[in-house]
């Protein structure tokens, strides 16, 4: 009887652990059942390959330490632990066909996240569970459509259905709340599933065959002109870029000293998140935030709220025409990769004219690997082809481009150890 009780508890713990794999829950349960059936069919419950003396708690990171004592004493628990070990191996060894199907269907998940973000469902559920009817009332969405969306969102882990038709937010879904202080991904989910990003990707085949951006074919104009005509979508994109700049600022300032600079000009600086990070690192410095007029105008309130308004001059303009003069440090973050060599040289040439000899230009990008190897940046490189007329480059490519514009590469600083998919790299150059 004791073995049966411990076996039941073990199975329950196993199912709780299995729930962590979200989308693969049904397959996971099937694996447990098949292992059970095989074991009971040949009387092998007691003969499963389980150590009679389990390893210390640190050897079992997926099992709570308090469960290990019963495991030592109970054959039922040991059996369930063996099931879980086999289950984990099975999940890690998914068939190639299943993996590719998941890749093919990936765009479903993107649009689910984008729609959840647009409807503000994470914010509506932040205070506690709600019914479909309650959520339909505050979102003006079809109850049937909303039910389908919520259950699809539950399947991918954004929500949990507490009772039939009553949903609650999960930690995963909370990432889509409109809470900038918590590092919200809401703007990113909206921006990357909205027309400016979404429609050109539908023409990836054409981009690869032609080697040309598909923005004009998909949007009727280039991406920047499109954003100028769609301020709402542009605002989500600008806030996404600001969040990326804030991440870059935190990463690079851990390894890059800006104490020697007094006037920092952030060219193409969006809402100023990188610039304010640099100014926080050097309280004696002042800054210039330079970007398109409609972009920097949205930075005024943020700079005032963060206490930087008195230290930052906001200048609207076009870096293909000219950039502000007077800086001893010019910063270009995630700008050059948006453009082909000809246009990138035009930007660099304008900075060269504005900067004094001996001043510093810091180009901050996530470069391609110098040697062929898998990297997230290869995906970014494809994005540059599809949506823009740019490209990702290796450090050697950047060095050559900068040399042609009159800048000498002094050193490169990679923000390693920052947990990023690919590290930000500061390429510090001197104006010749």
Helix (H, G, I), strand (E, B) or coil at 152: helix
Rounded Cα distance between 88 and 67, Å, is 18
Looking at residue 136, what DSSP letter applies?
Answer: H
Residue 142 and residue 120: Cα distance in Å, rounded?
15
What phi, psi does 236 have (nearest 5°)?
-65, -40
Give alpha helix (H) positions in 254-370. 273-281, 293-296, 300-306, 341-354
Neighbours of 55 (CB within 10 A): 9
Instruction: Report strand pairing: 159-163 vs 360-365.
Output: unpaired
The answer for residues whose C-beta is within 8 angstroms of residue 43's C-beta and 6 or more apart is none
What is the spatial distance between Cα 291 and Cα 298, in angstroms, rounded to a whole number?
11
Pairing between strand 425-431 and 407-414?
A: antiparallel
**Cα separation of 416 and 409, whole Å?**
20
Tally Cβ neighbours within 10 Å of residue 30: 13
Cα(84)–Cα(35) distance, rounded to whole angstroms? 10
Q: State phi, psi for 406 to the nearest 5 degrees.
A: 95, 25
Q: In the annotation, is 230 catalytic?
A: no
Q: How many CB atoms lie within 10 A of CB 11?
A: 17
Cβ atoms of 398 and 427 within 8 Å: the answer is yes
What letter would DSSP give residue 309? G
User: In angstroms, how far is CA 58 from the centroid of its own chain?
Assistant: 31
What 3-state DSSP class applies to 361? strand
> Which entry of 236, 308, 337, 352 is annotated as an active-site residue?
337
Residues acting as catalytic residues: 337
């Amino acid at each position: 009887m004791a073995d049966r009780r411990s076996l039941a508890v073990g199975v329950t713990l196993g199912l709780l652990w299995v729930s962590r794999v979200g989308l693969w829950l049904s397959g996971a349960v099937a694996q447990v059942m098949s292992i059970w059936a095989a074991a009971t069919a040949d009387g092998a419950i007691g003969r499963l390959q389980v150590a009679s003396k389990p390893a210390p708690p640190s050897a079992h990171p997926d099992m709570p330490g308090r469960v290990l004592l019963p495991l030592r004493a109970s054959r039922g628990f040991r059996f369930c632990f063996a099931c879980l070990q086999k289950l984990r191996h099975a999940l890690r060894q998914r068939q190639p066909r299943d993996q590719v199907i998941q890749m093919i269907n990936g765009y479903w998940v993107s649009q689910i996240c984008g729609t959840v973000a647009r409807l503000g469902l994470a914010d509506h559920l932040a205070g506690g569970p709600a019914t479909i009817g309650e959520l339909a009332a505050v979102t003006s969405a079809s109850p049937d459509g909303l039910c389908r969306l919520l259950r699809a969102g539950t399947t991918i882990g954004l929500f949990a259905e507490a009772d039939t038709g009553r949903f609650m937010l999960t930690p995963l879904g909370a990432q889509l709340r409109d809470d900038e202080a918590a590092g919200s991904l809401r703007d990113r989910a909206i921006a990357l599933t909205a027309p400016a990003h979404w429609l050109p990707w539908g023409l990836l085949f054409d981009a690869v065959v032609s080697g040309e951006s598909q923005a004009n074919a998909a949007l009727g104009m280039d991406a920047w002109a499109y954003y100028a005509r769609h301020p709402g979508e542009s605002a989500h994109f600008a806030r996404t870029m600001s969040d990326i700049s804030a991440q870059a600022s935190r990463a690079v300032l851990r390894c890059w000293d800006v104490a020697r600079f007094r006037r920092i000009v952030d060219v193409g600086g969006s809402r100023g998140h990188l610039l304010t990070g640099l100014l926080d690192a050097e309280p004696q410095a002042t800054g210039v935030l330079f970007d398109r007029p409609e972009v920097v105008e949205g930075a005024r309130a943020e700079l005032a709220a963060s206490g930087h308004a008195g230290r930052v001059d906001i200048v609207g303009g076009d870096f293909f025409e000219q950039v502000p003069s007077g800086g001893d440090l010019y910063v270009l973050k995630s700008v050059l990769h948006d453009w082909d060599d000809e246009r990138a040289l035009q930007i660099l040439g304008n900075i060269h004219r504005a900067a004094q000899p001996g001043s510093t230009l810091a180009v901050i990008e996530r470069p391609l690997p110098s040697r062929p190897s898998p990297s997230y940046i290869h995906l970014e490189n494809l994005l540059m082809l599809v949506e823009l007329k740019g490209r990702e480059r290796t450090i050697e490519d950047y060095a050559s481009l900068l040399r042609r514009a009159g800048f000498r590469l002094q050193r490169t600083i990679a923000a390693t150890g920052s947990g990023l998919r690919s590290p930000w790299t500061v390429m510090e150059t001197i104006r010749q």
